[in-house]
Amino acid sequence: MLKIYNDGKRITAALSGDIDHHAAREIRVELDDVIARSRPQLLILDLENVGFMDSSGIGLILGRSRSVRAAGGELLVKNARYEIAEVIRISGLGHLIAAQPNAL
């Protein structure tokens, strides 16, 4: 469901499966802990293996964006499938999607 790669300044969180209310809560707790401890310059949410995401996933992205910005960093979403990227764009968070998903 969640694998975290942390090099100190950049954290990549590879999510997989479906992001619904239950999954989003668990992911949020783990990511918030990592953000608080590491204060990354960049948090990358890699959604390549996410098959479904509802509004709980949007809340997850928005909340982590706020958390990482409060710690002085940025958030970027990469490798989102078309349908999931559209949900993110429609919610007004399209600016967080990497223009070149494989650039990072």
pTM of the predicted structure, to 2 decimals? 0.91
Banded model confidence at residue 103, pLDDT cuts 50, 70, 90: very low
pLDDT at residue number 42? 97
26-69 pLDDT, tens per residue? 999 999 999 999 999 999 999 999 999 999 999 999 999 999 99
How many Cα neighbours within 13 Å face the side chain of 13?
26
> Listing from the earlier edge strand, what are the strands of the sheet with 74-78?
2-6, 10-19, 42-53, 74-78
Q: How far apart are CA 61 and CA 43, in angstroms?
A: 11
Could you give the angle at the alpha carbon of 17 between the alpha carbons of 16 and 22, nearest 5°?
Answer: 110
Q: Print the domain residue range for 52.
A: 2-103
Banded model confidence at residue 101, pLDDT cuts 50, 70, 90: very low
Percent of the chain with pLDDT over 70: 94
For the domain that residue 71 is a member of, what is the CATH number?
3.30.750.24
CA 56 vs CA 23, 26, 34, 60, 102: distances in Å: 9, 11, 20, 6, 25
Structural domain count, the chain = 1
